[in-house]
Amino acid sequence: MNKLFLMFLAILLAGCATGPRVDTSFAAVSQDSRVRYLVLHYTFLDSATSLRVLTQQQVSSHYLIDDGEDFRIYRLVDEDRRAYHAGLSSWKGNTGLNASSIGIEIVNLGWRDSVQGRVWPPYPQGQIDRLITLVKDIVRRHGITPDRVLAHSDIAPQRKQDPGPMFPWKQLAEAGLVLWPDEKEVLLRQGRFERQLPDMTWFQKKLADHGFAIAPTGVLDDASRNVVSALQMKYRPARFDGIPDAQTAAILDVLTTPSRSPVMLMIEAAPGR
């Protein structure tokens, strides 16, 4: 009798542990992925240290792309769970992007100071090829648009510079994955801005329209320089000094002008279209 009772109790507890029976035969048409952003980083560490830090400390990412011969992709956090990669972050008024993003860390040592100044190591082409394949898969499954594939320096320009000026954003644009301004249009507008450069308030408002967290103070302070530098690092990596010049104004104007969508221009130019 005691054995039968214990068996019944075990079955009852097992049923409680699995939760109530749920009917999944219906699905609402009004739904989409919780993931809205994809954020790219460099690790600033070697491969072994990157794996240790991202799996054993209070920082993590969904994926890590190695720099070894096979450029292995590690999945460290399931996509339906939150990874802690973005930190204090903002884009287009949305904050705390850990909850709504997928993070990809790329093994790269980042900048180092030398007698010639600050130097940044390049990314091996094989590593970028693997990244592009991964990003294509993620954005397809989650419906992430090109204006939401971002750098860590986009969402946290006061703290971060990754993935840095050596990261080949244009390759991702050519694959149809990121926002990119029409270069002919940039050149045309640059001439106009060389004749009369907008004031700092104009730059700050345009930077905010693009997505950065920046206030229209009208002053080129350190925070504004950091944001301008983040934009330049992505779209004009040859010079990212944070100085608002005519070329930066033209890039920003094209990126934020609805009548000439840089997203469509970029997609139309992508291979295979």
Mutual orientation of helices 200-210 and 246-255 as an angle, nearest 10°? 40
Residue 51 to residue 36: CA distance in whole angstroms = 25
**Which of 235, 262, 150 is closest to 270 using CA atoms?**
262
Spell out the residues 6+ positions from residue 182 whose beta carbon is closer than 8 angstroms to its own.
254, 260, 262, 265, 266
Q: 């990314």: which residue's tokens?
A: 123
Residue 116 to residue 122: CA distance in whole angstroms = 17
Cα torsion angle, 267, 185, 38, 241, sign: positive
Are 153 and 160 contacting, i.e. CB atoms less than 8 angstroms apart? yes
Catalytic positions: 105
Residue 240 to residue 228: CA distance in whole angstroms = 8
Instruction: Give me the phi and psi of 37, to 5 degrees please.
Output: -135, 155
**Which of 72, 231, 249 is closest to 151 using CA atoms?**
231
- Neighbour tally for 163: CB within 10 Å: 27
What are the tokens at 160?
Answer: 């971060």
